[in-house]
């Protein structure tokens, strides 16, 4: 029904082999024999959640699930008007059980780990992957180990990994170093690796594409989303392609990836016509979720962007903060900084005329506002301290902007 195949040399592997990259070094993907597949779900806008689409998910056992997916797709007319676009939708992946899109991948990845007889899982993370993996490992009864870049993970995410009972290690190094290390940990200590290098995890994330078509009833012109390790944009593109091959839709959206200015290897490669990135040694951005210098899925992401006629673009931290505030204050949608990168990117593309007024655009916002309260406190005015007196309060209100 499906195999694991290398995207570079085409070599196929038994999907029950525990392997994360091809012998040739290429990335792997799950490949379904779509012609022989029986599809029992309908894209009728009903009962959306990850496991609605299980005919296209590569597991056969009962899933380890916490009701992931089925996230709101908001029509944002007010923000659209301010930015100059008529049909703007925002898919709020922060409304997943652990507060990020990672849950879609982890429900599949942890189920696969159990199917393969594994009892322990591991990941490196800028925060959300670890929160999600720890949660599903708890539910599935697995041991979880997470490697975090010390001092560079938002507080809410660390708290999640801790309460779900993972072994949390703060590595004196950045995410890219932690990822290299955890690959060695997985190899040598027998942990099942659940970073986005794991092709089964990405299968869960492709359901974002399924839900967008399911809910809208048509294919939007463009999907805009933040890019870090570059797994999500690749997964969503794969999802659209499968729907097209199955005849549900006849086009795919332009995949538009947004990175932070201080961590933009994919944008550099896109602009220079390269098929792979040159890593950044010291990536830097306040959007710590995407503070990544050596994205492992870059080759897949660049292919997704180019093939679909999309674009890769970077935004500054100031633009991210401003977009985060716009989305919160105009639409009441609260997201963490990395997620706001998609909104900041949208604004820039409209200003540059690359997105026109009548394009249908879906921005995917990837993580919840409460993930990173420290960033919010640092970019908003502090609460005004007042004496417990009505006149003091009146004075404070009238001077507060």
Interface residue list for ligand F0G (CB under 6 A): 100, 125-129, 196, 226-232, 289-290, 336, 338-339, 366-367
Nearest to ligand F0G of 208, 350 (CB atom):
208
Give the contacts of 4 (CB within 8 A, at least 6 positions apart). 12, 13, 14, 15, 17, 19, 28, 29, 30, 31, 199
Supply the minimum distance, in Å, between the C-beta of residue 161 and ligand F0G.
Answer: 10
Question: Measured from the CB atom, is 111 or 297 closer to ligand F0G?
Answer: 297
For 263, the 3-state DSSP assignment is strand
Is 64 or 148 the residue whose CB approaches ligand F0G more closely? 148
Query: Least distance from C-beta 9 to ligand F0G, angstroms?
Result: 24
User: Smallest distance from the beta carbon of 195 to ligand F0G, in angstroms?
Assistant: 7
- In whole angstroms, the minimum distance from the beta carbon of 401 to ligand F0G comes to 29
272 neighbors 241 (Cβ within 8 angstroms)? no
**Position of tokens 């999600």?**
132
- Which CB sits closer to ligand F0G, 43 or 365? 365
Determine the Cα–Cα distance for residues 55 and 190; give it in Å rounded to an integer: 29
* Whole-number Cα distances in Å, 268 to 259, 296, 305: 10, 15, 13
Pairwise CA distance, residues 207 & 235, whole Å: 8
| Residue placing its CB nearer to ligand F0G in the complex, 129 or 314 | 129
Q: Which is nearer to ligand F0G, 243 or 292 (CB)?
A: 292
Backbone angles phi, psi at 335, to 5 degrees: -135, 160
Q: Which is nearer to ligand F0G, 65 or 339 (CB)?
A: 339
Closest CB 382 distance from ligand F0G, rounded Å: 25
Taking the least distance from each CB to ligand F0G, the nearer of 43 and 57 is 57
On whether the CB atoms of residues 108 and 59 are closer than 8 A, the answer is: yes
Q: What is the DSSP string of 91-131?
A: EEGGGSTTSBTHHHHHHHHHHHHHHTT--EEEEE-SSHHHH
Q: Which two tokens stand for residue 250?
A: 């006849």
* Closer residue to ligand F0G, CB minimum distance, 201 or 347: 201
What's the start-to-end Cα distance of the chain, in Å? 60
Separation of alpha carbons 314 and 297, rounded Å: 18
Nearest approach, Cβ of 115 to ligand F0G (angstroms)?
Answer: 23
Of 323, 224, 241, which is closest to residue 31 (Cα–Cα)?
241
| Smallest distance, ligand F0G to C-beta of residue 178, A | 9
Q: Could you give the dihedral angle defined by the CA atoms of residues 278, 4, 224 and 316, in that order, rounded to the nearest 10 degrees?
A: -30
Q: Which residues pair with 30 in a beta bridge?
A: 4
Return phi, psi of residue 149, to 5°: -70, 120
Minimum CB distance to ligand F0G, residue 16 (Å): 25
């Amino acid at each position: 029904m499906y195999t694991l195949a290398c995207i570079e040399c085409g070599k196929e592997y038994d999907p029950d082999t525990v392997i994360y990259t091809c012998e040739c070094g290429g990335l792997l993907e799950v490949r379904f024999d779509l012609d022989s597949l029986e599809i029992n779900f309908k894209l009728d806008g009903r009962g959306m959640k990850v496991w609605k689409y299980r005919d296209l998910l590569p597991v056969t056992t009962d899933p380890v699930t916490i009701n992931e997916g089925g996230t709101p797709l908001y029509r944002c007319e007010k923000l659209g008007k301010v930015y100059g676009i008529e049909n703007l939708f925002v898919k709020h992946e922060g409304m997943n059980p652990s507060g990020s899109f990672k849950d879609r991948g982890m429900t599949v990845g942890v189920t696969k780990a159990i199917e393969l007889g594994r009892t322990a899982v591991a990941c490196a993370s800028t925060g959300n992957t670890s929160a999600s993996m720890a949660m599903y490992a708890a539910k599935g009864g697995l041991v979880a180990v997470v490697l975090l870049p010390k001092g560079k993970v938002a507080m809410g995410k660390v708290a999640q990994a801790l309460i779900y009972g993972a072994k949390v290690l703060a590595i004196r190094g950045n995410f890219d170093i932690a990822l290299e290390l955890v690959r060695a940990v997985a190899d040598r200590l027998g942990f099942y690796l659940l970073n986005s290098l794991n092709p089964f995890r990405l299968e869960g994330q492709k359901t974002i594409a399924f839900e967008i078509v399911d809910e809208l009833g048509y294919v939007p012109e463009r999907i805009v989303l933040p890019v870090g390790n570059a797994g999500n944009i690749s997964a969503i593109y794969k999802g659209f392609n499968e729907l097209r091959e199955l005849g549900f839709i006849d086009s795919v959206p332009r995949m538009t990836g947004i990175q932070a200015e201080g961590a933009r290897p994919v944008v550099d490669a896109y602009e220079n016509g390269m098929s792979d990135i040159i890593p950044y040694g010291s990536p830097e951005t306040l959007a710590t979720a995407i503070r990544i210098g050596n994205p492992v899925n870059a080759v897949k992401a660049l292919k997704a962007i180019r093939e679909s006629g999309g674009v890769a673009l970077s935004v500054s931290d100031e633009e991210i903060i401003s977009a985060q505030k716009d989305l919160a204050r105009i639409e009441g949608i609260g997201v963490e900084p990395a997620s706001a990168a998609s909104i900041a990117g949208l604004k820039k593309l409209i200003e540059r005329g690359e997105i026109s007024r009548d394009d249908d655009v879906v921005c995917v916002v990837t993580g919840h506002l409460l993930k990173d309260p420290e960033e919010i406190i640092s970019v908003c005015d502090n609460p005004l301290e007042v004496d417990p007196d009505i006149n003091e309060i009146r004075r404070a209100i009238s001077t507060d902007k």
